[in-house]
Amino acid sequence: MPAWRGTDWDFYGTTRTPGAGAIACGHFVATALTDLGFDAARLRLGQAASEHIARTFVPKEALLRFSDRAAADVVAAVRANGPGVYALGLDRHAGFLDVRADGAVLMCHAGPMEGVVCEDAATAPAFVSRYRVAARLFGDDMVRGWLAGRRWEVFTTSAR
């Protein structure tokens, strides 16, 4: 993700090249994952609802869901779930949570103010949302699928 920092944001942005062109929040998440070798329809994934992006790679039971909770409470709950990279879904936004071993929780996302940034999730203006969902990525099933060359079908409400 560091290569993406500072890349311009645009609501319809779909660039594949960090620092060139512009990227929307969902396309940032989709592009980062497909660039890591997860075989999914990048543009379709980037247009999906943020929770559907997470559900493409993680089963429903593994989602952490929060409604009408303070940002600090959500950050604490995700931190308690353990270090790792999480797909993040908000009411109208998508990104990643980078939960570090030292307890820091960064929100990495593409937004209209600064483009792609990684900032403290608890104080990030973009973290404001009535509904939040987080899904730890790169668990055993996801890594096994990646190693096997699995084709990841973009989740839709009728998919599973």
19-22, long-range: CB within 8 Å, 24+ apart, which pairs? Answer: 22/115
**Dihedral Cα 25, 109, 93, 27, nearest 10 deg:** 20
For the chain, give the mean pLDDT: 96
Q: Which pLDDT score is estimated for 72? A: 97
Condensed to tens digits (0 to 9), the pLDDT of residues 13-60 reads 999 999 999 999 999 999 999 999 999 999 999 999 999 999 999 999
CATH fold of 2-148: endopeptidase fold (from Nostoc punctiforme) (3.90.1720)
Domain boundaries, the chain: 2-148
Q: Which pLDDT score is estimated for 1? A: 83
Radius of gyration in angstroms for the set of CA atoms belonging to the chain, rounded to a whole number: 15
Condensed to tens digits (0 to 9), the pLDDT of residues 86-129 reads 999 999 999 999 999 999 999 999 999 999 999 999 999 999 99
User: How deeply is 33 buried, as exposed, middle or buried, from its count of CB atoms within 10 A (0-12, 13-18, 19+)?
Assistant: buried
* pTM of the predicted model as reported, rounded to 2 decimal places: 0.95
For the chain, report the end-to-end CA distance as a whole number of angstroms. Answer: 30
Rounded to whole angstroms, the Cα distance separating 17 from 95 reads 17
